[in-house]
Amino acid sequence: MKSPVLSAAQLHRKLDNPNLIILDCSPQSNMSGLKPEFQNTVIQNARYFDIEEDFSDLTSGLPHTLPSPEQFQENCRKLGLDNSSEIVVYDNLGIYTSPRVWWMFRVMGHEKIAVLDGGLSAWVKAGFPTQTEHDTAKKRGNFTAHFQPELVSDIDFVKQNLTKKEALIIDARSRERFNGTVPEPREGVRSGNIPGSVNIPFEEVLKDGKFKEKEELRSIFKEVNDPSKELVFSCGSGVTACILFLAGELVIDQKKSVYDGSWAEWGSREENS
């Protein structure tokens, strides 16, 4: 797909495409206190992408950890996804978990993936067709994962960067959480931030559940960005970091990755205090 973000009208015009697969990755709950505008409503023909179970590494001890390529591939095949599939992903909170899924597909080497700007709310308000239950795959797919390690950063890289300072860590949490003036919502995780990191709360790149215009996004990144460095996005558990990653993808050419463990990992280890 040409753009990583599609409007509801653009998606509606693609509905006759035989390769189109719509994925709903709406979360069961979230740490940001967001509430869906529409309940028990699904975009017509959408399949459910289970970001909590099927597409997370449940053995990691951390929330939402990127699964292995083998796990990701197998569950994509169960969803009926092919290498030729043109995927559009959305969630029921406007823009929340959908950029995480977009990033995961990119990590697994699939570039025919886009996020529905405004999510379910934008689709319903445009009067486009919905249903009450998800579709299921009629056949097993042939999706093949090709892992792209450069899009993922781990705790070792972030630790080394404390002295090397080759990357700029951008944290998507709220200013209160970043500054440590409120407690972290996860038990056993202290307050604060990664030394040397900067803060862009993910809500700042959004307006009414959609990404802001590119000129506004450029201005937001310009306030904190160092064009000479690669960018590593972090948050509480690796979800809202992907919102900033995608916003950056729209306006910045620098190398980008997501620190998958994010503050849930960094803030739970005593040696990092």
Which residues are marked as active site?
235
| Distance of alpha carbon 184 from the chain centroid | 20
Contact 198, 167 (CB under 8 A): no
In which order are the strands placed within the sheet that holds 113-116? 5-6, 113-116, 86-90, 20-24, 47-48
- The whole-angstrom separation of Cα 159 and Cα 161 is 5
| Whole-Å CA distances, 131 to 28, 42, 44, 49, 92 | 18, 5, 5, 16, 14
The residues, any chain, with a CB within 8 Å of residue 261's CB and separated by 6 or more, are: 62, 65, 154, 155, 238
Q: At what angle do helices 214-222 and 241-251 cross, to 10 degrees?
A: 110
Which secondary-structure segment (H or E) carries 34? none
- The whole-angstrom separation of Cα 39 and Cα 180 is 34
Closest CA to 200 of 227, 166, 223: 223
Task: Assign residue 253 a region (left: φ > 0; alpha: ψ between -120 and 50; beta: otherwise).
Answer: alpha
Closest CA to 122 of 233, 235, 16, 11: 11
